[in-house]
Structure 1
Amino acid sequence: MAEEPVLTGILGGTFDPVHFGHLRLAQELAERLALAEVRFVPSGVPPHRAPPAVSPVHRLEMVRRAIAGNSRFTLDQREVNKSTPGYAVDTLGELRAELGADAPLCLLMGADAFLGLNSWRRWEALFDLAHIAVALRPGFFRDSWEEAMGEALRRQLARREQAVDGLRRASAGGIVVQEMTPLDISATRIRRQLRRGASPRYLLPDAVLAYIRDNRLYS
């Protein structure tokens, strides 16, 4: 009997700072999709948003501390090591070259990020490189979420959406949508709390909060 293909998940972002919303999304999708690994890929120079509040070195270390102890979570530094913007299509292209043409890859993202997917560089080429798993977060109802999409993105969803077990039948090209545990946590809110001296405890790992305080970040 042939071995079942190993499915690798990719979770990118600024992680400014990393919090339990990121970690829970990664954990739930890892379990539901039976991911062998989730690679956290902090962005160095994000192309689609304002520069992060703290340096790539600090954000990298916060992610390192946040995922310590979870054998399925790993840290990928490739975008932080670049001086140019890290585009998802380029990162996935590098991973595809490293892992081989037949290895299933799955780009993990929230429903809000998916709505803006058609603004990403060469966004339709993403489907040649990976599957996409979308986590429906609090406040995103399926019908209104689809209505908010542009026509091109809606067509891709209709064409490519499949059940979870379809992710191992091909190395790329599918979309799966999963409802997640409602954790309404945002990095923006955490940064605001820190700036006004309020405690964000229980919104992010203690090891991350300790690092923020030790290095006087977001103050």
Structure 2
Amino acid sequence: MTTQTRRFTIPEGYSFPIHRLQRVLRDSSKQPLVLVACGSFSPITYLHLRMFEMARDYARQQTDYEIVGGYLSPVSDMYKKPGLLSAKHRVNMCNLAAEQTSSWLMVDPWEAFQSYQRTAVVLDHFEHEINDKFGGVATLEGEIRPVKILLLAGSDLIATMSEPGVWSQADLDHILGKYGCFIVERAGSDMDQATDGLARWRPNIHMIPQLIQNDVSSTKVRLFLKRGLSVRYLLPSPVVTYIEENGLYTEDNPTPSPRPSSSDVKGE
């Protein structure tokens, strides 16, 4: 099914964010690229934001891509992951982080405010919004080009794609075959081991080493908050203030319901 024929549900009041999408390529020899990070972001950390910066450096130095936008796509509440705060708070925190610490990142709430959506469908949604509806981006000479959509993820997430039965083969082929991904090294994850079993899609998998090790995770941040410890300088300052003002992560989360039957796995 193509993005032109796939029907996408539209949450009430939803509009796709394009206010920071670069409309014209700076270098006409490059291929326009948009990075999409899917995950819980409960809460968003500096490492989530840093991954986009590492990916942009990699794209500029190692590829023929020019990044024209980056998107955070928080997962739906229906994912039922332990520690998953409500979509309203997670989207608000992502917006604070993107708008106040970056000049090119955006938050797309499409996935967050509806039923659970597989990563393959989320990427199709971006393809539809940016290329089918928006029409791609232009070169300095006026040529219109479609934008390449790539998944941005940590090596801990990509490692699950090598585990039998975790992701469906159809979804893997769609995500890694049709789109591809930028994989950022995460502390404690073996980059080579993370891609075992994914050899057939290797040309579409770009491995990005983490030159300055950072093992901050949302899980560790939630543990700090429950223990009454400071998380300043682990998260963007406006996100810390939001958490404090709303009293978030101070109590244990209720026992989560089982995840949807889909084999899709989302990151933090």
Q: TM-score, normalised by structure 1?
A: 0.82
Q: Distance in 2 between matches of 1:2 and 1:63?
A: 32
- 1:55 pairs with 2:86: yes
Deviation at 1:128, TM superposition (A): 4.0
Instruction: Say which SS state the counterpart of residue 204 (structure 1) adopts.
Output: coil
Identity of aligned residues (%): 25
Q: Say whether residues 1:179 and 2:209 are aligned partners.
A: yes
Q: 1:89 to 1:143 in 2, by over 3 A?
A: closer
Report if aligned partners of 2:160, 2:194 keep a CA contact under 8 Å in 1.
no
Larger mean CA deviation between 107-116 and 60-69 belongs to: 60-69
| TM superposition shift of 1:105 | 1.1
Residue 174 of structure 2 corresponds to which residue in structure 1?
Answer: 125
List per-residue Cα deviations over 1:15-56 (Å, max 9, x = no partner): 000001111111111222142211111111364x62543210
Structure 1 residue 124, shift from structure 2 partner: 1.5
Letter in 2 for 1:103: V
Q: How far, CA to CA, are the matches of 1:100 and 1:61 in structure 2?
A: 27
CA gap of 1:198–1:129, structure 2 versus 1, over 3 A, is same
1:76 to 108, 114, 127: 108
Distance across 2 between alignment mates of 1:128 and 1:96? 14
Kindly indicate whether the alpha-carbon contact (under 8 Å) linking 1:44 and 1:85 is maintained by their aligned counterparts in 2: yes
Q: Specify every segment of 5 or more residues in structure 1 that has no aligned partner in the other structure, as ranges.
A: 162-173
Contact 2:77–2:84 (8 Å) recurs in 1: no
Relative to structure 1, is the Cα distance of residues 2 and 145 closer, same or farther in structure 2, using a 3 angstrom cutoff? closer
Give the 3-state SS of the residue equivalent to 2:32 in structure 1. coil
- What secondary structure, in the 3-state scheme, does the structure 2 residue paired with 1:6 have? strand
Matches within 5 A, 1:62-141: 62-69=93-100, 70-82=102-114, 84-100=115-131, 102-117=146-161, 119-121=166-168, 122-141=171-190
2:74 to 35, 42, 62: 42
- Kept in 1: contact 2:43–2:218 (CA 8 A): yes
Cα distance in 2 for partners of 1:194, 1:116 equals: 28
8 Å Cα contact 1:134/1:176 also seen in 2: yes
* Divergent runs of 4+, >3 A: 141-146
Name the aligned partner's letter for residue 202 of structure 2.
Answer: R
Q: CA deviation at 1:10?
A: 0.4
Q: Is the 8 A contact 1:66 1:207 kept in 2?
A: yes
More helix by share: 1
Structure 2 unaligned regions, length at least 5? 1-26, 61-66, 133-145, 251-268
The structure-2 alpha-carbon separation of the partners of 1:41 and 1:25, relative to structure 1 and needing over 3 Å to count, comes to same
